[in-house]
Amino acid sequence: LLIITLLLYSSFTPVFFFIKGYGDSIGIRTPGLFFTVATLTMIGLRVGVGSFFDRFNKVLLMALSLAWLIVGYTALAFAFGPVSFYILAGALGLGWGVGMPVLNAMIFECSEPRFSGLNINLAQEALQTGFLLGPLVAGWIIAGSDYRTLFYMCSLFCLVALALAPLTLVGSKLK
């Protein structure tokens, strides 16, 4: 779960670090609205249906959000105008709005009580490492390639995380 957390945030942070440059490169006049749309989608989702997350299989929800993000990042590589750009902001906001809180809940739920504090702290370290590695790797990619390759990298990180998802069931309380 900690590796999945690292991969999820390593795919999330490059979007927020480099979306302005990408938006400018495809002719979006106000690329900062991407943040507004994505964040409002995440907040709306959590407020509107966040309580339902506890009623569903968290491993399945996490896997579905990762699959959704793979498609979203890949589609973002092909955004061509404001409509597709902002629709993808909402779509990615849905994926992040499901994946992030569900992953946090999974880490808490599968931890033995004596290790729950440690595991939550380790999850924070994985998140912070993602905030370092994601933009660092993304900067290297953009310096040597383009934004499309960057978003493929984000998809690849989520694909690896998705491949690891079944391992979260091994020896855990998660079902």
Q: How confident is the model over 137-148, as pLDDT tens digits?
A: 999 999 999 999
Q: Residue 171 — very low, low, confident or very high, per pLDDT cuts 50/70/90?
A: low
Residue 175 has pLDDT above 90, yes or no: no
Residue 174 has pLDDT above 80, yes or no: no
C-alpha angle 93/11/56, rounded to 5°? Answer: 55
**Distance (Å, whole) CA 98 – CA 82:** 24
Are 104 and 122 in contact, with CB atoms under 8 Å apart?
A: no
What percentage of the chain exceeds 90 in pLDDT?
A: 87
**Distance (Å, whole) CA 69 – CA 155:** 7
Q: Residue 125 — very low, low, confident or very high, per pLDDT cuts 50/70/90?
A: very high
pLDDT score, position 134 = 97
At a CB cut-off of 8 Å and minimum separation 6, what does 100 contact?
8, 12, 42
**Interval 13-66: pLDDT, tens:** 999 999 999 999 999 999 999 999 999 999 999 999 888 888 889 999 999 999
Token digits of residue 151:
């978003």
Closest residue by Cα to residue 19 from 93, 71, 70, 124: 93
Q: Residue 169 — very low, low, confident or very high, per pLDDT cuts 50/70/90?
A: confident
Are 61 and 98 in contact, with CB atoms under 8 Å apart?
A: yes
